[in-house]
Amino acid sequence: MFNRSCLSFFRLKTAEVIAMSKTVLVLCTGNSCRSQMAEALWRRHGGDRWRIGSAGSNPAGYVHPLAIRAMEESGIDLSDARSKHLNEFSPESLDLVVTVCGNAQQNCPVYPASIEMLHWPFDDPADATGDDEQKINFFRRVRDEIDAKIRSYLDALT
């Protein structure tokens, strides 16, 4: 059983973690593939140091089934994810915005100078051609590239 001083300490530590965490928004055009995968991977690797969201400048209205499948293979469930518009996120709450496609970078709203902006261009797996195996392999490659980039960025911060 916890006594009151333990609970106060726990509340204080929880508040400190929230205060120390940063908020990142990953932007893409449709928020159906790359930004969805990046959001989930950042959540996995960033832990409680980051609050993470993803959005699109022109949301597709769905998460691509092959993005869901590729992430499922990595142990991440995107089946309940939804495509979101960037207007759902208040610029005042952001510390970092990462664009993962050229169109999102070009059509990105102007954010305050206090928000760090990064551009990490990845091929669009929704454009994959070929048979089903070739398409899922494209999604896997992009997933793995996003994963490596996020890990590298987070490792450089520690």
CA distance 85 to 129: 27
Q: Sign (positive/negative) of CA torsion 36, 37, 38, 44?
A: positive
pLDDT tens for residues 41-63? 999 999 999 999 999 989 999 99
Q: Name the active-site residue from 71, 101, 128, 150.
A: 101
66 has pLDDT over 50: yes
Domain that holds residue 120: 18-157
Note whether 90 and 114 are within 8 A (CB).
no
Q: For residue 101, what pLDDT is reported?
A: 84
Query: Is 95 a residue whose pLDDT tops 90?
Result: yes
Residue 43, SS3 per DSSP: helix
Among candidate residues 60, 76, 108, 115, the one labeled active-site is 108
pLDDT at 34: 97
Assess contact for 46 and 25: CB atoms under 8 A: no
- Is residue 12 one of the residues assigned to a domain? no
Domain count for the chain, please give it. 1
Quick: pLDDT tens for 67-86: 999 999 999 999 999 999 99
Catalytic annotation present for 6: no
Instruction: Express each pLDDT in 122-154 by its tens digit.
Output: 999 999 999 999 999 999 999 999 999 999 999
User: Does the residue 84 lie in any domain?
Assistant: yes
> What pTM does this model have?
0.84
Question: In 3-state terms, what secondary structure has residue 32?
Answer: coil
Domain-located, residue 127: yes
Query: How many angstroms separate the CA atoms of 33 and 2, rounded?
Result: 44
Active site (annotated) includes residue 108: yes
Amino acid of residue 95:
D
* Average pLDDT over the chain, rounded to an integer: 86
Q: 40 in a domain, yes or no?
A: yes
Query: Is residue 4, in this structure, part of any structural domain at all?
Result: no
Q: For position 84, which CATH number holds? A: 3.40.50.2300
Question: What single letter denotes the amino acid at residue 122?
Answer: F
Domain assignment present for 10: no
Calpha distance 45→48 (Å, rounded):
9
